[in-house]
Amino acid sequence: MSKITNLSILTSFLGLWLTSFIKNETQFIVGFILILSFGIVHGANDLLLIKKIYKEESKSYWKTLFNYLIVIFIAVLLFSFIPWLAMLLFIIVSSYHFGEQHWGNKNLYDHKIINTLFYTTYGLFILLLLFQFHNKEVIAIMLGITGIEFTFISISLLLKLNGFLLAALFSYNYFSSKVFQKILVVEILYLIVFAIIFKVGDLIWAFVIYFIFWHSIPSLLDQIKFLYGKVSLKNFKAYCKSAFLYWLISLFGIVVLYFLLKDYKIFDSIFFSFLAAITFPHVFVIERMFNLKHKKTE
């Protein structure tokens, strides 16, 4: 296991241990702070990544930036007028994003369609596992965002179907990749760790533990290595400096939303929608980053 994975495991169980001493309100505040710091910062350098990616690929930076902003605009429109479709797309895109971050550096094999299916299925399994242990809270959030009460959907059934597909893909990977054969047992243990985290922690706390320590921080380190060549304190400072303005703008927008809507029950839904809208283009930027990294290793 890598050092970052060991750190993720350690911080995960430390977070679970803290649930015995921290009230739910405090967990929410700490989780909110972590999302506003590491969570947003890990996606705050998209513009610098775009510049790096398309400089190496000799493509138009401004055209790409325009497309980036268009994606955000479309996401906002979808959440405003067709929220159920926006939520469905957000879950699918986020699933791919989580799966790509976890598996993208393992170089299993180069097959675009299978990789996409595997990343999405793995990430969706993580999300459905979280939803399964916090069914009522998830349905309430979905209702607040879409206006639809998704009680007609069986999360348990979706989890089982997705788990079956994931098991099939695990089997395929096992017979197709020697790398996968070496890490299969460890990867199954990770899924068990996630299940423990999601079951013991409340919804926000459990999500924060996974999102920050298993996704955001590893992604941040990958981006630093891609941008500057290696991970170091100096490069970490350079990353944070270049991300500061974007992070500040995002934080300002969230603060304005809070003061405008703090007395309304819809704040949680608006806040989630805001994060979702800026997630869509980030996912495509990171996907391009991984594609470029893989091309360099061929």
Q: Which of 198, 213, 197 has its CA nearest to residue 131?
A: 198
Judge whether 106 and 179 are in contact, CB under 8 Å.
Answer: yes
Segments of the chain with pLDDT less than 70: 1-3, 56-61, 109-110, 257-273, 296-298
Q: Which amino acid is at 236?
A: F
DSSP string for residues in 223-287: HHHHHHSS--HHHHHHHHHHHHHHHHHHHHHHHHHHHHHTTSTTHHHHHHHHHHHHHHHHHHHHH
pLDDT in tens, 88-113: 999 999 999 999 999 988 877 667 88
- Paired tokens of 48: 């610098």
pLDDT score of 262: 60
Radius of gyration of the chain (CA): 19
Q: Which pLDDT score is estimated for 103?
A: 93
How far apart CA 223 and CA 220 sit, in angstroms, is 5
Say what the pLDDT of residue 57 is: 60
Place of tokens 């009680």: 151
Q: What is the pLDDT at residue 26?
A: 78
pLDDT digits (tens, 9 = 90+) for 143-182: 877 888 887 789 999 999 999 999 999 999 999 888 899 9
What is the rounded distance in angstroms from the CA atom of residue 272 to the CA atom of residue 87? 10
